[in-house]
């Protein structure tokens, strides 16, 4: 499955267009390698997402084409989530 579609279906990012933009800016790593929105995601992959001041690391558990909101979190396991402290420079 394409990276941008996985992010939308799993609800890690709400909109596919936003997922594509984040990926194409180089803010997503799959297994330690920079990924584009068209990169293929498969079960067992480890993804690092950096958006805003948040860094999220997840492991892909399963791939499904569509899912309900309640079942979306079953597609991945959250490994870590960190929030960078705000400074005066990046406040706005």
Question: What tens digit of pLDDT does each residue of 29-62 get?
Answer: 999 999 999 999 999 999 999 988 899 999 999 9
**What's 7's domain CATH number?**
3.10.290.10
C-alpha 88/C-alpha 81 separation (Å) is 22
Position 59 in a domain: yes
Position 74 in a domain: yes
Q: How many domains does the chain have?
A: 1
What's the pTM?
0.84
Position 88 in a domain: no
Residues whose CB falls within 8 Å of the CB of residue 39, separated by 6 or more in sequence, listed in order: 2, 3, 23, 30
Position 14 in a domain: yes
C-alpha 6/C-alpha 19 separation (Å) is 9
Position 90 in a domain: no
Predicted confidence at residue 88, as pLDDT, reads: 59
* Domain that residue 20 falls in: 3-83
Predicted confidence at residue 75, as pLDDT, reads: 93
C-alpha 45/C-alpha 60 separation (Å) is 5
């Amino acid at each position: 499955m394409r990276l941008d579609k996985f992010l939308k279906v799993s609800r890690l990012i709400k909109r596919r267009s936003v997922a594509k933009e984040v990926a194409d800016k180089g803010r997503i790593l799959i297994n330690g390698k920079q990924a584009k929105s068209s990169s293929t995601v498969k079960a067992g992959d480890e993804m690092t997402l950096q958006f805003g001041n948040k860094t999220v690391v997840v492991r892909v558990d399963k791939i499904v084409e569509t899912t309900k909101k309640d079942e979306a979190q079953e597609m991945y396991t959250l490994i870590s989530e960190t929030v960078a402290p705000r400074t005066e420079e990046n406040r706005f």
